[in-house]
A and B are shown apart, each in its own frame.
Chain A
Amino acid sequence: MQNRQFIVSHAPFWHNGSKISSRSYNTVIAAIPALLLGFFHYGSPVVGVLALSISSAMIWELIMNLITRRPLTIGDGNAALTGTVFAMLLPATSPWWLVITGTFFAVVIGKQIFGGIGSNAFNPVVVAVAILMVSWKDFFDFNEALLNYDFEFIAAYPLAELKHFGTSAITSFDTVDLLMGKQTGGMGATFGLGIIIGGIYLIIRGIIRWEIPVSFLAGVFITALLFNISDPLKYANPVFHICTGYTLIGAFFLATEDSSSPVNFVPMLACGAFAGVMTVLIRNIGIYVDGVIYSILIMNLICPIIDKIRPKALGKVV
């Protein structure tokens, strides 16, 4: 009898086949429709920024892996995903150093110093954009950044128009046009329909949960509606808020990031709605043009506590 070597490990011996890399790459796939329209509007700079963003994010991750002497994790696609989503938020004209600095903040400050994937308290992309927005706010002023483009639609950033000129300035924006991406903004953040399609794909694949985007959008809608009812001249209608700025990309791609969002049912609804409410509050009352980035940061901050609301475990006597 020959002596064969068998593999011994512990139960269960089956796995449903899901893995982190397929989650990451599916999210990248879901981002493609929105990015395609960006390419259509802004041309080759989109490819440049996107490629630089993905590659620099992966290189930052690799460098951190080597410095911290931990296993190489760029294969899990999480850095590539971070790079993709980060690029979607940028204007197409972003200079190369802004992209590289941004991915540094995202991957190194946002994720790796906390201990890598799964340990980040905040969405890395949101952290990076928040830091960049504070540091170089001119590059996130889409009117200024996209000055040299000639579009066949209104080349003014809708939220800035609203902020500076009130509702009378936004009457020329048509909802369908906004959804179809006929507005300026981040290179992957303006094509509302594309983002919704990508988001639905992610929900169907089970990669993100419907609770967070739906409650986020509901929070935006209801709060904006209340403002709109209270003073229709001063505050825009809720549909405008949903279709402009980072609202949709925030709902489907930013707020749903795994480790910085809750996992239980009620907390998912609560956190999503909270971020939605905060978004409109910042837009309507605060000084910032768009509130999605900061509202998601605040949501990330409170979600570990909110996530303690959970069903009682079997047989737990309290």
Chain B
Amino acid sequence: MIKKSFIGMAKPQLLCEALESVLPEPEKISISARATFLLKMPHGQSVGKSSFSFEEGDKVITGQKLALAAKSNEYIVSSVTGKISSIKPFEGNFGQMYTAISIETAQKEEKDKGFKQTVKNVTLENINKYLLNSPGCSSLGILSDSAKPINTIIISGMDKDLLVTTNQYILKSDINAVKKGIKILKEISGVGKILVAVPPHLMDEASVLNVRVKTVGLDYPAAFPELFMKNVLGTVLPAEKSCEDAGVCFLSCESVACLGNAFEKGEIPVEKTFTFIKKDGSNVLVSAKIGTPLVDIFRELGVSLRDKDRIIIGGPMTGFAVYSEDYPVMPDTDAVMVQDSADVSYASDYPCINCGECIRICPADVPVNMLVRLLEAELYDEAAEQYDLHSCIECGLCSYVCTARIPIFQYIRLAKHELACTRSGENHSAEEKNAK
């Protein structure tokens, strides 16, 4: 953990991890006895057994799609061959409901041919149908959203959070796949402008990709899309608008490499590479099948956990903690971090003392000191109107430096979530009125 130095006058500078020049070999995690997949459920939908096109005891083979019976775009792709042992509801962050599907793996692996038969057919439709659950690929769906036409694709070889080197590793180790992926992207999306954003030390690697390369410093949070757009592209994204609204789509190197590999090999990729951050802050790259429970990874890496330790999916600044070591590796798991109970920092219920540390560190110039006063009182609308709630890019730096240790970042996320809920509620009621 990076602490404040004795000379506290200067802003603390947090640097993202640069991948070393000698490429590390990722630790390969062998197939575990059980794999779990979390299928995202639409909001407000009750989950009955009949909602699924599959049930407990069914046989599943590698690469097989599992989806809801009702029309829903969400699906998962099994990374193993075996038998469904349980189907349970699972609640994630901010009340997002999932269905946890556990599969007991069989000895012999069989592969689903569904994707292979259509592999010649390189279309957006095919990608949406098979690849959205592949490592890092969930954002590929944006490309086929007709409501938000994309004119620029930015392929990011940067990692958003501290200590994470997953994307840098993919760019370095699998540059040919990235190249193929870019070719496919060009063909199917019809987007003329494709950029690659990399940290300065990967400039040489990226230059072989035959697209324009932009470098971004390693200082946190320069890799955030909003800041990238402002500093590199020179367009300031209006608050409350997403990059897609502005016609810019950010894809990770991993997803592009995945695209290249999938159509090359005719298989849906199911191996996820991610950074594992150990208790002492050192990190290793790990490659495991999607769905592998974290406990298997801990065992293979020789990481022992005790009571009151913390398991974090994602990096130290923006990740989220999970309460069970049975939590699986997901397609968007870029990092897994374990934290010793001695290093766990607690939030306090102190009020803001107006020291101004957050003001000075905020990359988006949000008046955090005033904002947090309103958020504590649940005045979300006023916070958004007067104190720029929606300008926040969610980097977590304000909480990191907060002297009073207020969980500011969580207050902000909660406020945004609540506002989104009320707004979608209003939309629903408006639709109902129209229907009447």
Interface residues of A (CB under 8 A from B): 1, 4-20, 23, 71, 76, 115-119, 203-207, 209-210, 258-261, 263-264, 310-317
Task: Determine if B400 and A12 form an interchain contact, defined as CB atoms under 8 angstroms apart.
Answer: yes
B190 within 8 A of A: no
Task: Determine if B325 and A4 form an interchain contact, defined as CB atoms under 8 angstroms apart.
Answer: yes
Task: Determine if A316 and B388 form an interchain contact, defined as CB atoms under 8 angstroms apart.
Answer: yes
* A residues near B413, Cβ cutoff 8 Å: 10
Question: Interface size on B (CB < 8 Å)?
Answer: 80
Task: Determine if A263 and B307 form an interchain contact, defined as CB atoms under 8 angstroms apart.
Answer: no
* A residues near B405, Cβ cutoff 8 Å: 15, 19
Which of B136-144, B193-201, B345-353 touches A?
B345-353
Decide yes or no: A317 and B239 within 8 Å by CB, A7-B321, A16-B4, A18-B8 being known contacts: yes
Task: Determine if A16 and B401 form an interchain contact, defined as CB atoms under 8 angstroms apart.
Answer: yes
B208 within 8 A of A: no
CB A12 to nearest CB in B, in angstroms, measures 4
Assembly CA distance A291 to B73 (angstroms) = 71
Given A258-B353, A313-B388, 9 additional A-B pairs, CB 8 A:
A6-B324, A7-B310, A14-B1, A16-B12, A23-B403, A205-B6, A259-B354, A314-B239, A315-B241
Interface residues of B (CB under 8 A from A): 1-4, 6-10, 12, 162, 226-227, 230, 236-241, 295, 305-312, 314, 316-325, 337, 339, 341, 344-347, 349-357, 359, 363-367, 369, 388, 390-391, 393, 396-397, 399-405, 407, 409-410, 413
Q: Name the one of B320, B347, B396, B403 contacting A20, with C-beta atoms under 8 angstroms.
A: B403
CB A144 to nearest CB in B, in angstroms, measures 38
**Chain B interface secondary structure, helix, strand, loop or mixed?**
loop
Max count, chain B CB within 10 A of own CB: residue among A115, A116, A117, A206: A206
Task: Determine if A6 and B305 form an interchain contact, defined as CB atoms under 8 angstroms apart.
Answer: yes
The 7 lowest CB-CB distance pairs between A and B, nearest first, are A206-B8, A263-B356, A314-B364, A313-B388, A313-B391, A12-B396, A315-B239
Task: Determine if A12 and B403 form an interchain contact, defined as CB atoms under 8 angstroms apart.
Answer: no
* B residues near A10, Cβ cutoff 8 Å: 320-321, 407, 409-410, 413
Q: Name the one of A6, A7, A117, A315 contacting B236, with C-beta atoms under 8 angstroms.
A: A315
Q: Name the one of A16, A116, A258, A313 contacting B366, with C-beta atoms under 8 angstroms.
A: A313
CB A199 to nearest CB in B, in angstroms, measures 12
With both beta carbons as reference points, the residue of chain A lying nearest to B411 in the complex is identified as: A10
Task: Determine if A315 and B400 form an interchain contact, defined as CB atoms under 8 angstroms apart.
Answer: no
CB A142 to nearest CB in B, in angstroms, measures 33
Decide yes or no: A313 and B350 within 8 Å by CB, A8-B321, A11-B320 being known contacts: no
* A residues near B239, Cβ cutoff 8 Å: 313-317
* B residues near A119, Cβ cutoff 8 Å: 351
Assembly CA distance A289 to B367 (angstroms) = 39
Task: Determine if B308 and A7 form an interchain contact, defined as CB atoms under 8 angstroms apart.
Answer: yes
* B residues near A1, Cβ cutoff 8 Å: 295
Q: Name the one of A8, A12, A76, A313 contacting B399, with C-beta atoms under 8 angstroms.
A: A12
Q: Name the one of B8, B305, B337, B363 contacting A314, with C-beta atoms under 8 angstroms.
A: B363
Assembly CA distance A14 to B399 (angstroms) = 9
CB A203 to nearest CB in B, in angstroms, measures 6
Task: Determine if A9 and B354 form an interchain contact, defined as CB atoms under 8 angstroms apart.
Answer: no
Task: Determine if B400 and A206 form an interchain contact, defined as CB atoms under 8 angstroms apart.
Answer: no
* A residues near B162, Cβ cutoff 8 Å: 14
Assembly CA distance A4 to B366 (angstroms) = 40
With both beta carbons as reference points, the residue of chain A lying nearest to B9 in the complex is identified as: A206
Task: Determine if A5 and B9 form an interchain contact, defined as CB atoms under 8 angstroms apart.
Answer: no
Q: Name the one of A7, A20, A317 contacting B238, with C-beta atoms under 8 angstroms.
A: A317
Assembly CA distance A309 to B306 (angstroms) = 49
Task: Determine if B4 and A17 form an interchain contact, defined as CB atoms under 8 angstroms apart.
Answer: yes
Task: Determine if B2 and A16 form an interchain contact, defined as CB atoms under 8 angstroms apart.
Answer: yes
CB A11 to nearest CB in B, in angstroms, measures 5
* A residues near B312, Cβ cutoff 8 Å: 13
Decide yes or no: A6 and B310 within 8 Å by CB, A312-B365, A315-B239 being known contacts: yes
* B residues near A204, Cβ cutoff 8 Å: 7-9
With both beta carbons as reference points, the residue of chain A lying nearest to B4 in the complex is identified as: A16
Assembly CA distance A260 to B353 (angstroms) = 9
Interface CB pairs A-B, < 8 A, 7: A6-B307, A18-B8, A18-B401, A118-B353, A263-B354, A310-B359, A314-B364
Assembly CA distance A37 to B409 (angstroms) = 45
* B residues near A8, Cβ cutoff 8 Å: 310, 321-323
Task: Determine if B309 and A313 form an interchain contact, defined as CB atoms under 8 angstroms apart.
Answer: no
CB A226 to nearest CB in B, in angstroms, measures 31
